[in-house]
Amino acid sequence: MSFVLKEQNGFGFIDEGEGEVLLLLHGLMGALSNWEDVVNEFKSKYRVIIPMLPIYDLPLLTTGVKTVAKYVHKFVKYKKLDNLTIIGNSLGGHVALIYVLSHPALVKRMVLTGSSGLYENAFGGTFPRRESYDFIKEKVEFTFYDPATATKELVDDVYKTVNDRHRVIRILAMARSAIRHNMQKDLHKIRIPVGLIWGKNDKVTPPEVAKEFHEYLPKSELVWIDKCGHAPMMEQPEEFNIALKGFLDKTAV
């Protein structure tokens, strides 16, 4: 990835472009590079910021989606950000939902793609064969419509992560926290515009999840991306960017 990872005050982040802020939140097994095509597309008009979420750095007892949302708020305060557009994939979408409910005055609109918060077929409640490269490869391919999107580099990264005992314990704790923290009863309180950009072939947070979000979020719109799994900004970046631009333009007031 061609962007510079900045480190300030204990935060690691990417900060590209100038203008209104797009704050991008990656998923549980995600990385800052997942958003590379979004950054390249939008940094000429927006200030695009991606904080590195502390998935592996929290004390085990406090590892959970609410703690990550609090971390995001510390980052937002430190960078003196407001009037945010917050965009989250998978666990990052779940964190975005919690954040918006806690700090509605700071966020003008939100985009969710493959978000947890209602229901998901998690990457794994356990990793019974994490030492098997082929097993991990199969799990990573499950994330996408086209298995070829699961490059060797991506599979290698996930394999290394799940075979690090410190990391895998926190991944499992975070996944369980996300499953426990169902947000259905709170979604009606979110009154800002929400764009739902969803892979039509998502097997992790299936299309029914997107339809439920659309039903429960009062000011939401839903765009489907065909031949696409759980991470549209990676698998179908052009289509994702078109849908995102359409939503941003429509809600630009």
Rounded to an integer, what distance in angstroms lies between the CA atom of residue 63 and that of residue 252?
35
Average predicted confidence (pLDDT) for the chain: 93
pLDDT in tens, 23-40: 999 998 878 889 999 999
Can you read off the two tokens belonging to residue 100? 């918006």
Do residues 86 and 101 lie in contact, with contact meaning Cβ atoms separated by under 8 Å? no
Using a 10 angstrom Cβ sphere, with 0-12 exposed, 13-18 middle and 19 or more buried, the burial of residue 9 is: exposed
**pLDDT (mean) for 51-70:** 90
Q: What per-residue confidence (pLDDT) applies to 59? A: 85
pLDDT in tens, 88-135: 999 999 999 999 999 999 999 999 999 999 988 765 455 557 789 998
Rounded to an integer, what distance in angstroms lies between the CA atom of residue 144 and that of residue 117?
20
Domains and CATH numbers, the chain: 6-120+182-250 (3.40.50.1820)
Name 17's Cβ contacts closer than 8 Å, sequence gap at least 6: 39, 42, 43, 44, 45, 46, 47, 48
Q: What per-residue confidence (pLDDT) applies to 58? A: 84
Do residues 204 and 120 lie in contact, with contact meaning Cβ atoms separated by under 8 Å? yes
pLDDT in tens, 125-176: 555 577 899 989 998 999 999 999 999 999 999 999 989 988 989 988 998 8
| pTM check: above 0.85 | yes
